[in-house]
Structure formats: C-alpha cells, structure tokens
Structure 1
Amino acid sequence: MAKTHEIKVERRNDEGKGASRRLRRAGFVPAIVYGGELAPVSIQIEHKDVWHASQNEWFYSSILDLTLGGDVQKVLLRDMQRHPYKQIVMHLDFQRVNENEALRLRVPLHFLNQEVSPAGKTSGVVIMRELTDVEISCLPKDLPEYIEVDLSALKVGDIVHTSDLKLPKGVEIPDLRFGKEHDHAVVVAKEMREEVEAAPAAEGDAAAAPAAAAPAAAAAKKDDKK
C-alpha cells in the first residue's frame, strides 16, 4: 500500500481571480477539496510546500492527508495547473477518498533488472519502454505507490504486456476486462542489428541499377541509328 503524506492547508474565504492573484503574490496556491458527502471547500497551501511535494512521484499517485488544524481529510490530487513558463503552481484540485469505494488512477511503473537480463546484455538490442504508468483500480487501503516490472528474464524479441504485470493483492487493471485489444505493450526488446546491416545492401542495389541499365540504353540508341 502507498504511504500517506501530510500536506498542511488553510481555509480561504476570498473567491475569484483577483483573490487568487493576491494569494499567489503572498506565496500561496489556491486549491479546492471536493467529493464525498461534504461540500466543496476552498483552501490555500504555501507554494514552497506544494512545489517541494510536486517534485516527488508520490504527490501524483498517493493518498494525501490534508491537515487543517486538527481536521485531517484523505484526498487524491486530481488536477494541477502550472504557469506556462514560470516555476509556479497556479491551482490544485483534490478529491476526498472514501475508504469503501474503489479508486481509479494512474500509478508509475518502476523497471528493475533490465541491465542483467539476457536482452540487456545482448549488443544491438534496443529495449523500449512503451508505458511509464498504468491505470489501476483498487480500494484506498490497497493503493500501491508504484508497480514493479521485473525484467530479469527479458529476452530478445520478448514483449511484456499489461496482463504480464504482477499486481499487488486487491489491485486490477480495468482495461483488461475489455479484451486482448486493451492488453497494451509495456516493454519491447527488439533486435536492431538486422535493419542496420540491410541498409547498405539496399543502397548498393540502388547504385547498381543505373550502371546495369547503361549498356542496354547504349545498345538501344545504336539500333535507332541503324
């Protein structure tokens, strides 16, 4: 299960664009908490705390404890708006978590042992990571911070699909319910050496074609003069 992480917040009463601009100038990020049986609540968080948290993978895929005085609400980050070119977080949306309701969200994939795999130790092989995260469904108590992908047995020509992932207990990938066409490739180990060797041969054939055609063209021209 993913760890919970504490984020200290304050309630805000001012609404509107002008109030949000004032908050940002004062070093805070406007945010909202919604969901569950409670009404949405407008809050503010110190920008330095938000910026520090946003540099960590867990901020996007873990249950967060928003603390307001003695009150703690468990939430997930659902949206984050950034400034288009400045290192500024503009707004955050948090959704309350119900411990009895399944969550759907994307969690990162952590790839292990690629270097020691047969494919990783073979020259001329490219190992492509087609996915870096995957959408899962589970109860909050079962939420993993990430899913490990062990590549120690990966061989040349292998393809690891989402159905091959070893999921923690209580966790599933919803897309797999809809058939094999939703069983996406996660990792592909591809031999590239054959394509590189074929290229010079093709160029040689292309260069030889005009040379082979030249005697035939000369003979045809000679016949025309006759």
Structure 2
Amino acid sequence: MSQSYELTAEARERVGKGSARAIRRSGKIPAVIYGDKQPPLSITLPYKEVFLRIHAGGFRTTIATINVNGEKIQVLPKDYQLDPVRGFAMHVDFLRVSQNTVVTVNVPVHFINDEKAPGIKRGGVLNVVRHEVEFVCPANAIPDNITVDLEGLDIGDSVHISAVKLPQGVTPTITDRDFTIATIAAPAGLRSEEAEAGEAAAEQTEGSGE
C-alpha cells in the first residue's frame, strides 16, 4: 500500500455552486468527507497539494489524514471531478475509514517477465483485457497493484484472475467466473499467414471434391 500523507483543511459552512467558484478563485478546492455513520463534512483544501496527489498515481487507493481545524480524520479518496476542458481539479469526495472499514477499489494491473514469455519473443502481442481489477478489501490493506507474471506464456495463452496471487483479505468483486486479465495474441503477419493457409486448404478440399 502507498505511503499515507496528510492534508490540512478548513471546514466550510457555505455550499453550492457560487461558494465553490469562490473557493476555486482563492486557490483552494471544495471537498466533502462522508461515511462512517457521521454527517457529511464540507471542507476546503489547498488546490496545488490536491492536484499533485491526484496526478502522482495511487490517489484512490491511498489512505490520507485530513487535519480539519485540529481534528485528524483518516479518509480514502473515492471520487474527484476534473474540468473537462482545462483538466483542473474541481471537487473531491472522501470516505471516512476506520480499522474495520471495507472498501471497493479499482487496483492497477502490472505485468512482469515479458522477456521470458515465448509468445512475445516470437512476435506475439500482449493484449491487456483489464488494466484495472475491482476488489473488495480492508481500507488499511489496499494493494498498490496486482502482479501478473508472463513467464512461459505462448501465443494463444491467457491469464485469468485465478493465476494471480492476491494479498490476504483482497477478493475480486466478480466471483461467478474466472475472468481473463490478458492474452498473448498472434502478430498480424502470422494471423495473415494462417488465414491464407486456411483458405488454401479449403480450396484444395473443394477441388478434390469436384
């Protein structure tokens, strides 16, 4: 799990679009902390710190501590909004977490040992079906990523979730099937050769039948 960090916030009483615009003009960003059977808490955060955290990676899988007027609250970022044109951070939602909090998160997939995959050595292409996998896990034990080992995989082989070693307490939300994470696909040239060979075989078969 990524290292936790702390943000200093201010509680805000006014809410609404007008108030949010004024907050952004002052170099801050509006946010809300909710969950843990407590009323939502509206806050403002320093814009630059939040923007850097969002784009540093692992934002939604890392627990943070928010210091609100001296009260330290452990949270997990659940969602954020970006300006569709300029990419500015507009708003962030945080979920309060405790020792017993269980969350649903999307965890990135990392691939290793591609140089040890015969299929890739032969020109095959790694076809990533899922760049992220959704898991249920304790909020204090969210993995930074899951690792898929490509060693020994040949063209036509697939990697399913059952082949991935998961940390204790981490389970996929999809439980009714052994879903595919990636495959080793044949290169375009090889597919063309196979198609031509198939067509030639079909022609021979048709010719012999006349």
Is this a same-fold pair by TM over 0.5? yes
Aligned to 1:84: 84
Aligned to 2:204: none
| Residue 197 of structure 1, aligned match among 178, 190, 193 | 193
Aligned to 1:170: 169
Aligned to 2:183: 188
Aligned to 2:94: 94
Moved more, 151-160 or 83-92: 151-160
Distance 1:24 1:136 in 2: 33
Aligned to 2:75: 75
Report the RMSD for the aligned CA atoms in angstroms: 2.1
CA-CA distance at 1:75 after TM superposition: 1.3
Task: Point out the structure with max Rg over C-alpha.
Answer: 1
Structure with greater strand percent: 2
**Secondary structure of the structure 1 residue equivalent to 2:148:** strand
AA of the residue aligned to 1:140 = A
Q: How does 1:1-226 map to 2 (within 5 A)?
A: 1-123=1-123, 125-176=124-175, 179-180=176-177, 183-192=178-187, 193-198=189-194
**Secondary structure of the structure 1 residue equivalent to 2:59:** helix
Give the gaps of 5 or more residues in structure 2.
Answer: 201-210
Aligned to 2:207: none
AA of the residue aligned to 1:187 = A
Distance 2:121 2:194 in 1: 23
CA shift digits 1:174-217 (9 cap, x unpaired): 312xx22xx2211100223442225667999xxxxxxxxxxxxx
Runs of 4+ with >6 A deviation: 200-204
Moved more, 142-151 or 24-33: 142-151
CA-CA distance at 1:170 after TM superposition: 1.8
Give the gaps of 5 or more residues in structure 1.
Answer: 205-226
Identical positions, percent: 34
Distance 1:29 1:106 in 2: 24
AA of the residue aligned to 1:45 = L
For the Cα contact (< 8 Å) 2:63–2:140, is it kept in 1? no
Moved more, 26-35 or 101-110: 101-110
For the Cα contact (< 8 Å) 1:3–1:145, is it kept in 2? no
| TM-score between both structures, scaled by the size of structure 2 | 0.86
| TM-score between both structures, scaled by the size of structure 1 | 0.80
Moved more, 89-98 or 67-76: 67-76
Distance 2:7 2:154 in 1: 44
CA-CA distance at 1:106 after TM superposition: 1.0
Distance 1:137 1:64 in 2: 19
Distance 1:145 1:136 in 2: 12
AA of the residue aligned to 2:109 = L
For the Cα contact (< 8 Å) 2:31–2:43, is it kept in 1? yes
